[in-house]
C-alpha cells in the first residue's frame, strides 16, 4: 500500500500546494492514505475548522499536529470532536483530543497513526519514547501498519526515536524544522525513516515567514510580528510503500514540488 | 572552479571516509578546494594536531569548526598557529585563531572562507550576522569568491543567514545537526545554499554516537558517556560550481556515499 | 548619599506601590536618587509614555528596563527621546535609546546608571561584561558614582557580574526574577551587591501574574493569556549608602513593604 | 516540632559548615529533623557514600538531591539502598532510589519528605506537579506533616508549586540557584514557603565555584574546568515550626551563618 506524508502545511500557500499537488499525486500513485502535518495551517500557527476542512476537501485523510496545535484558541473544541486530527500523544493526561488513532483506507486496510512531540529545545511534555510504547501496544492489537509523526527540533532526538522504534513500526518521519532532510532510509526490520519531511508553504521565506522580518529579528533582537510569506509555494512530502500484510516499509521516496 | 564542502567529520570512521572518498572525488571532479568541518574529528568532539594532519594529508585544504572547537584543550595552542583551521568568527575578541581566511588554490585562485556559529539553542556569542558583514568587507578587498560555513542548530537562523548573504557570497552552507538537508538551491545573486551538509562518520548511529547510549539517555535522563559509534561510514558533502571571475555559484550538488 | 533601587514594577498594583511607598521613603531617608526597573510597568509587560510619566510623577528619577523593554510597540519612539529611561546597554548597535546615562541629583551630584541584560536562558545579545567595561570607561570620565542594574535570570551570571565589577562600581543589583534575594553584601572595594531586587507588584501572584493561570500552564502545557494579578501589593527595593567623594558603597539594605 | 532545611551543600567547605553549624543549632533549637540538599556534596557535583556518611554523622537526617544527583557514577548503587537519600520524584519510572519517603523523628513523629525537580531551563522530566499529587496521596495515608524540596531554576515554576501545594503540605522550599531568597512566608492553609534556601559552601565564589573561572567562561565562551572555591564558608538554611497535630507550619525563619 502507498501512504503520503506531507510536511508542515503553512498558511494559504501551503493549503493551495496541498490541493494542487494531491490531485496529481493521488492519480499517479493511487494513494491509500494521505497524512499531513497541520500545525501551521491557519495563518502560519495553529489550525481552524475552516483550514482543516479545506485540507480534508483537498484529499488529506489525517492531520497531525505539533507545538503550535493550540495557537488558535478555538482548536480546543474542534480537535476534541474531529477524529481525523491527532495531536502529540505525549501532552499530559486530560489534554483535548487524541494522540493516536486507527484509520481505515478505502480498501478497508487499517493504519495506526501516532503523533509525538520532542522535548529538546521545546516544551516540557511527557516522555515521547514511553508514550510511543503505550500507543503502540494499543494499536498493535488491531493492526501492524503504524506510522509515526515525531514533531521535534533536535536531530539527535529524532534519530534516536527512529532507532528506538525500528522494526516495530512501518515509519518514523519527523516534522517541525520546516526543512526537508536527505537521510531517508529503511531501518532494520522494515521501518522507513526521515528526519524531517520539510514544509509545504511559501518557498521564498524563512521556514514560511517573511524573510525580511526574521532577519531583522535576529539582528535587532527586537520583537517582530511574524507574517506568512507571499509568493510561490513548495510542496514537501514523502511517499511510503508499505507491505500491508506485515506492516514493513519497502521504500521511502522524498517529494519536492515547486510552483 | 569546483569546491567541495564536507559535513562534520566524526571520529575514526569519519576520517577514513574522507580519505577514501576524497581520493576518488579529486580525480573525478578536479577539485580546486576542499573544506571540511572538523569540530568532531578527534573522538567525536574537538580536534587535535594528529587528526587535523590526517585530514590535511587526505586532501582537505581548510578545516572549519563549531561549538566543539575547544573540547580538546590543547587545540587552543594548535589552532592559533595553523592557518588552515578557522573557528567561528563570532567568538569574542581575543579568542585564539581566526574566524575567516583567504586561501589560494593550486591554480592561484583566491577563496575567502568564513566560519560562523549560530546562537539559537547554542552559546552566547557575538552576532553572526554583523560578524559576517565585517569579515566580508575585509575579504572582498582581495577576492569575490567567498564561502560561509554557518554552524548552527535552528533552521530559521540558517535560512535567514542564507537570505542575508544572498548575492554577496558564493555559498552559505550549514553544519552542526549532522543530518544532511535536501534544500540545496541557488539563491538570487548566485549564492549556493544548503541548510546542512550532514555528517561524515559512522552511519548506524545517532548523529555519530552509539545509538543505544543516546536512546537510554533520552529515556532515563541519566548522564551517559557518549562514545563514537562503530561500523560502516557515511560521507556527506556538497559540490559547488563557482564562476571564478565574479564569484557566483552556478550549481550545488549534494553528495552521499556509503561504505 | 542615598540611592533607592526598586525591583521590577508590575502593572497597576506596582505603580500604586511606588507612589505610596516613595512618598514615605523620600521623607524618611532623604533620597538623592530613585531608580526603578520599569520593564513590566504597562500591564505586566513593557512600558508606555503614560505609565512612565506616572512613575516619574511618583518620584522615580530613572527607569531601567529588561527583556520586556519593547513589548509595547510604541516604546521605541518614546524611549528614544526620554533620557530618564535606559534600556540594556548590550542590545546591538542601532537599538533605540541609551544603555547608560549620567544623572544629576538635586544636590548636583552626578550618578552614572548602567542597564545590562543577561544572556543565560534569555536573548542573544552582545556580551554584558564587555559592554559594562565600555560604559564604565565613558562614565568614569565624569563621575565615580556608578550603579548597575543587571537584568538576568541565572544566579551564576549575576554573581559573576558582581565580582567582575567589584571595586569598580558603587553597586551591582539584579532584576528580572521578581523574587528578592537575601544575599546583599558589600564586595571588596566598596561595591554593594544583591542578586535580585525582587518585584513591586501584586503580592498573591506568580511573579506578578494570576497564579491560577500560571499553574494551569505548567500542568497543561497549553498556551495561556497571562494577566496581571489583583489584590494587595508588595514593594521590593534596596537602599544604598554611597560615599559621594569616592563612589564606594558602605551599606545596602533590602526593603520589603506590604499593603 | 522544628525542622531545619539546609540549602545545597557544596564540597568540603559546605560539609564543614554543616558540621559546625548543626552542633550549635541542634542544641539551641532542639531540632526534630534535619534535611539537607546534597546534590553538590562531593567536589561540587554529585554525592558519594563518604560525603553522605559525613553529613549523616554531622546530624543530617535526610538528604534530598537535584539535577546533579547522578554526577558521581557510583551514586546509582549507593542511593538505591540508602533510604535516607531521596532524589527528585519526577525522574522516569525505573530510576534508582525513591523520590519521597517517610521519616521518623526521635520522638516518633512521622514526617513525609518529597523531592521534586523543575523542568524550566532544566532536564526533560515527568511533570513535577502531577508527581507531587501522587506522592502526597501516598504519604497522607500515614502523616499530615509533609515537606517538599523543589529543586528548580525558574522562580515562576517554584512560586507556582508553592501555591499549587498551599494548604496541602507543611512546607515547599526551593533549592538549586544557590542564592537564598528573601520571600519566606506562610501561604494560606499553613504552608511555609521560600523560593530558595541558598547554598552552604564557599562564600567568596560564584554559586560555589571559583569566581575567576566562571567570569572567564562567561566572557571567553570557552569551556572551563569548574573547581569548588576555597575560603570561608556560608551556611544557608531555614527553620520551620510545624504543628505536629495538623501539619500546619506556623513560622519559617531564614538562617545565614558565616565563617
Ligand atoms: Fe511547523
Ligand atoms: Fe512545530
Ligand atoms: Fe558536529
Ligand atoms: Fe556542532
Ligand atoms: Fe520583570
Ligand atoms: Fe525581565
Ligand atoms: Fe546545587
Ligand atoms: Fe541543582
The pLDDT score that the predictor gives to residue B247 is: 98
Query: Which candidate in A2, A12, A16, A68 is catalytic?
Result: A68
Residue B92 to residue C130, Cβ atoms within 8 A: yes
Distance CA D109, CA D92 (A): 30
Q: Is the CB of residue C204 less than 8 Å from the CB of residue C226?
A: no
Of D160, D195, D198, the CB nearest to C218: D160
Q: Which ligand has an atom closest to residue A45 CA? A: 1
Q: Is the CB of residue A186 less than 8 Å from the CB of residue A251?
A: yes
What kind and span of H or E run contains B162?
Answer: helix B155-165
Kindly indicate the confidence band of residue B87, based on its pLDDT and cuts at 50, 70 and 90: very high
Distance CA A228, CA A48 (A): 16
The set of catalytic residues of C is 68
Residues with CB under 5 A from ligand 5 (ion): C 8, 39-40
Q: Is the CB of residue A249 less than 8 Å from the CB of residue A213?
A: no
pTM for this predicted structure: 0.97
Distance CA A159, CA A157 (A): 6
Q: Where are the domains of chain A?
A: 2-258
CA C162 to chain centre: 15
Residue B182 to residue A195, Cβ atoms within 8 A: no
Distance CA B55, CA A124 (A): 41
The pLDDT score that the predictor gives to residue C22 is: 98
CB pairs under 8 A between A and C: 33
How far CA D251 is from CA of B193, D74, D238, in Å, comes to 63, 38, 10
* Average pLDDT taken over every residue of chain B: 97
Ranges of beta strands (E only) in D55-184 are: 62-64, 85-86, 100-104, 110-117, 146-151, 171-175
Size (chain C), residues: 259
Residues with CB under 5 A from ligand 8 (ion): D 66-67, 176
Per-residue pLDDT tens over the stretch D214-239? 999 999 999 998 999 999 999 999 99
Separation in Å, CA of A118 to nearest CA in chain D = 10
A30 is in an annotated binding site: no
In three-state secondary structure terms, C64 is: strand
Query: B189: CA distance to ligand 5 center in Å?
Result: 44
The pLDDT score that the predictor gives to residue B127 is: 98
Residue D177 to residue C155, Cβ atoms within 8 A: yes
Residue range C220-245: mean pLDDT, rounded: 96
Nearest CA among A72, A27, A80 for reference residue A46: A72
Distance CA C243, CA B116 (A): 46
Which residues in chain B are contacts of C120 at CB distance < 8 A?
Answer: 124
- Rounding to the nearest 10 degrees, give the CA dihedral for residues C63, C69, C72, C73: 120
Separation in Å, CA of D16 to nearest CA in chain B = 28
Which residues in chain D are contacts of A120 at CB distance < 8 A?
Answer: 124
Q: Is the CB of residue A81 less than 8 Å from the CB of residue D119?
A: no
Residue B222 to residue D70, Cβ atoms within 8 A: yes
The pLDDT score that the predictor gives to residue A17 is: 98
Distance CA D53, CA D57 (A): 6
Of D130, D181, D256, the CB nearest to C180: D181
Separation in Å, CA of B85 to nearest CA in chain C = 25
Which residues in chain B are contacts of D219 at CB distance < 8 A?
Answer: 92
Distance CA A179, CA A80 (A): 30
Per-residue pLDDT tens over the stretch C100-133? 999 999 999 999 999 999 999 999 999 999 999 9
β-bridge mates for residue B236, sequence order = B256
In three-state secondary structure terms, C206 is: strand
| pLDDT less than 50: residues of chain A | none
CB atoms within 10 A of CB A236: 29
Of A160, A183, A219, the CB nearest to B214: A160
CA angle C199, C204, C210 (to 5 degrees): 90
Ranges of beta strands (E only) in chain D are: 2-6, 8-9, 33-37, 62-64, 85-86, 100-104, 110-117, 146-151, 171-175, 185-187, 191-194, 199-202, 233-242, 249-258
CB pairs under 8 A between B and C: 17
Residue D95 to residue B222, Cβ atoms within 8 A: yes
Q: Which three cell numbers stand for residue D68?
A: 546533579
Q: Are strands D110-117 and D100-104 parallel, antiparallel or unpaired?
A: antiparallel
Query: D43: CA distance to ligand 8 center in Å?
Result: 14
CATH of B2-258, one of 3.40.630.30, 3.60.21.10, 3.40.50.2000, 3.40.50.970: 3.60.21.10
Residue D221 to residue B125, Cβ atoms within 8 A: yes
CB atoms within 10 A of CB D185: 13
Neighbours of chain B (3+ CB pairs under 8 A): A, C, D
Query: What are the backbone dihedrals phi and psi of residue C250, each rounded to the nearest 5 degrees, phi first?
Result: -110, -20
Q: Is the CB of residue B88 less than 8 Å from the CB of residue B100?
A: no
What percent of chain D is predicted at pLDDT more than 70? 100
Summarize the annotated binding site of D for Fe cation as residue ranges: 8, 39-40, 67, 151, 176, 178
Kindly indicate the confidence band of residue C182, based on its pLDDT and cuts at 50, 70 and 90: very high
Residue C221 to residue A71, Cβ atoms within 8 A: no
Chain D residue nearest residue B225, CA to CA: D73
Residue A92 to residue D124, Cβ atoms within 8 A: no
Kindly indicate the confidence band of residue B58, based on its pLDDT and cuts at 50, 70 and 90: very high
The pLDDT score that the predictor gives to residue B123 is: 96
Separation in Å, CA of D215 to nearest CA in chain B = 14
Chain D residue nearest residue A93, CA to CA: D130
Would you call B254 an interface residue with chain A, using a CB distance cutoff of 8 Å?
Answer: yes
State ipTM: 0.97
Residue range C127-142: mean pLDDT, rounded: 98
Residue tagged 526598586 (cell numbers): C6
Kindly indicate the confidence band of residue C13, based on its pLDDT and cuts at 50, 70 and 90: very high
C39 is in an annotated binding site: yes
Residue range B195-206: mean pLDDT, rounded: 98
Distance CA A197, CA A181 (A): 7
The pLDDT score that the predictor gives to residue A55 is: 98
Of C120, C124, C130, the CB nearest to B119: C124
Kindly indicate the confidence band of residue D199, based on its pLDDT and cuts at 50, 70 and 90: very high
Contacts of C17 (CB under 8 A, 6+ apart): C9, C200, C201, C233, C234, C235, C257, C259
- Rounding to the nearest 10 degrees, give the CA dihedral for residues C81, C85, C89, C93: -10
Query: C66: CA distance to ligand 1 center in Å?
Result: 30
CB atoms within 10 A of CB A255: 19
Interface mutation vs chain D, best among A93, A118, A124, most D CBs within 10 Å: A124
Separation in Å, CA of A222 to nearest CA in chain C = 7
The pLDDT score that the predictor gives to residue B121 is: 97
The pLDDT score that the predictor gives to residue A156 is: 98
Q: Which three cell numbers stand for residue B105?
A: 588554490
Query: What are the backbone dihedrals phi and psi of residue C11, each rounded to the nearest 5 degrees, phi first?
Result: 60, -160
Per-residue pLDDT tens over the stretch A80-114? 999 999 999 999 999 999 999 999 999 999 999 99
Query: What are the backbone dihedrals phi and psi of residue A184, each rounded to the nearest 5 degrees, phi first?
Result: -60, 140
CB pairs under 8 A between C and D: 90
Q: Are strands A191-194 and A8-9 parallel, antiparallel or unpaired?
A: unpaired
The pLDDT score that the predictor gives to residue B142 is: 98
The pLDDT score that the predictor gives to residue C139 is: 98
The pLDDT score that the predictor gives to residue A107 is: 95
Which residues in chain C are contacts of B119 at CB distance < 8 A?
Answer: 124
Query: B116: CA distance to ligand 4 center in Å?
Result: 11
CB atoms within 10 A of CB C23: 12
The set of catalytic residues of D is 68
Q: Is the CB of residue D182 less than 8 Å from the CB of residue C236?
A: no
β-bridge mates for residue A148, sequence order = A114, A172
Which of 85-144 (D) contact C at CB < 8 A?
121, 127, 129-130
- Rounding to the nearest 10 degrees, give the CA dihedral for residues B215, B216, B217, B220: 130
Residue A155 to residue B254, Cβ atoms within 8 A: no
Which residues in chain D are contacts of C215 at CB distance < 8 A?
Answer: 129, 160, 163-164
Q: Is the CB of residue C56 less than 8 Å from the CB of residue C33?
A: no
Kindly indicate the confidence band of residue B114, based on its pLDDT and cuts at 50, 70 and 90: very high
In three-state secondary structure terms, D231 is: coil
Amino acid at each position: 500500500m502507498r501512504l503520503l506524508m506531507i510536511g508542515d502545511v503553512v498558511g494559504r500557500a501551503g493549503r493551495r500546494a496541498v490541493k494542487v499537488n494531491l490531485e496529481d499525486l493521488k492519480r499517479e500513485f493511487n494513494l491509500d492514505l494521505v497524512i499531513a502535518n497541520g500545525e501551521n495551517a491557519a495563518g502560519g500557527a495553529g489550525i481552524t475548522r475552516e483550514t482543516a476542512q479545506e485540507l480534508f476537501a483537498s484529499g488529506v485523510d489525517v492531520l497531525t499536529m505539533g507545538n503550535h496545535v493550540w495557537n488558535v484558541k478555538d482548536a480546543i473544541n474542534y480537535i476534541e470532536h474531529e477524529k481525523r486530527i491527532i495531536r502529540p500523544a505525549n501532552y499530559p493526561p486530560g489534554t483535548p483530543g487524541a494522540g493516536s488513532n486507527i484509520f481505515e483506507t478505502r480498501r478497508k486496510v487499517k493504519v495506526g497513526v501516532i503523533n509525538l512531540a520532542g522535548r529538546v529545545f521545546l516544551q516540557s511534555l511527557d516522555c515521547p519514547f514511553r508514550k510511543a510504547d503505550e500507543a503502540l501496544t494499543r494499536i498493535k492489537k488491531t493492526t501492524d501498519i503504524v506510522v509515526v509523526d515525531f514533531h521535534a527540533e533536535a536531530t539527535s532526538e529524532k534519530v534516536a526515536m527512529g532507532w528506538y522504534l525500528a522494526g516495530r513500526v512501518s515509519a518514523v518521519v519527523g516534522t517541525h524544522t520546516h526543512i526537508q532532510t536527505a537521510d531517508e532510509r529503511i531501518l532494520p526490520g522494515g521501518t522507513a525513516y526521515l528526519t524531517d519531511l520539510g514544509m509545504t508553504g511559501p518557498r521564498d521565506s524563512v521556514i514560511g515567514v517573511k524573510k525580511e522580518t526574521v532577519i531583522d529579528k535576529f539582528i535587532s533582537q527586537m520583537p517582530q510580528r511574524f507574517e506568512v510569506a507571499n509568493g510561490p509555494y513548495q510542496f514537501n512530502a514523502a511517499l511510503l510503500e508499505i507491505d500491508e500484510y506485515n506492516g514493513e516499509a519497502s521504500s521511502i521516496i522524498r517529494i519536492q514540488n515547486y510552483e
